[in-house]
Amino acid sequence: MTNANPVATASNGVNTVKDCYIAGLNPTNPQSAFLISDLSPLTSGNVLSWNTTNGRVYSVYWASNLLSGFQPLESNIAYTAVPFTDTNHPYTEQGFYKIEVELE
């Protein structure tokens, strides 16, 4: 039990306390961030890794540019199913990835 305000900005200056809880981050650590930790381009696709947390599910999105919006690649990825391989976009294709996390 805590008296933390869930909509208060966490120490990292980016997320709310609630966002940190959902992503499995430490809201009092300014260095705590939810990031793609590794992107390995392979001929079969791009392999993405990120730190997962028990009881969470993840969704991966891709965009060719930041103005066109992100398109879903896969959703409901279990925390045990990471790394994720994007076989839809070859390693030679430039683009952007976005990962979302939710409670299971």
| Residue range of the domain that includes 88 | 35-103
Give the neighbor-by-neighbor strand order of the sheet with 36-42.
36-42, 45-50, 84-86
Residue 104 has pLDDT above 50, yes or no: yes
Banded pLDDT at 45 (limits 50, 70, 90): confident
Q: Residue 43 has what pLDDT?
A: 79
Share of the chain above pLDDT 70, in %: 98
Residue 89 has pLDDT above 50, yes or no: yes
Does residue 98 share a domain with residue 50? yes
Does residue 91 share a domain with residue 72? yes
Does residue 39 share a domain with residue 21? no
Q: What is the pTM of this model?
A: 0.87
Does residue 45 share a domain with residue 24? no
Banded pLDDT at 2 (limits 50, 70, 90): low
Does residue 76 share a domain with residue 53? yes
Number of structural domains the chain divides into: 2
